[in-house]
Structure 1
Amino acid sequence: MPRIVLRLGEEFSRIEPVGDTALRAESGVTLSRLTSFAAARSLAGLEFAHGIPGTLGGAVSMNAGAYGGEMKDV
């Protein structure tokens, strides 16, 4: 069975604040880095994702969730 593996490197791993109430992140950012970035800026809503392994792109594509939260809610 043919397969493909994508690895999103540093070129797709940027996070930046957007004003005081939002952030912009690329698909290769790990969820642990994303949640830490958000928490350091007092941005709420991603707490459920801390501890979920993987990247933002993967989490969005599969609607990752834990502890009652899901990516579709963010």
Structure 2
Amino acid sequence: MPYSVRVDGHGVVPTGEVTILDGRMVIATITLTAADDGRTTVTLPAFARGIHLVTAKFGGNDQLTP
């Protein structure tokens, strides 16, 4: 399942690690590069039936804090 991720750097191109979570469980980790311009797509594993709270958490870098 594709999941689009966008990190807004407010004038700074965000680079660094983005962690994708299902609730509190890490299900994917991606690295944003300058070429991504803050946007990327990640393929997520299949989910079991039920409700899932999928979130993305930007880890920050030397110019941006999470």
State the TM-score, normalizing by the size of structure 1: 0.23
Tell me which protein shows more helix as a share of its residues: 1
More strand by share: 2
Larger RCO (alpha carbons 8 Å, 6+ apart)? 2
TM-score scaled by structure 2? 0.24
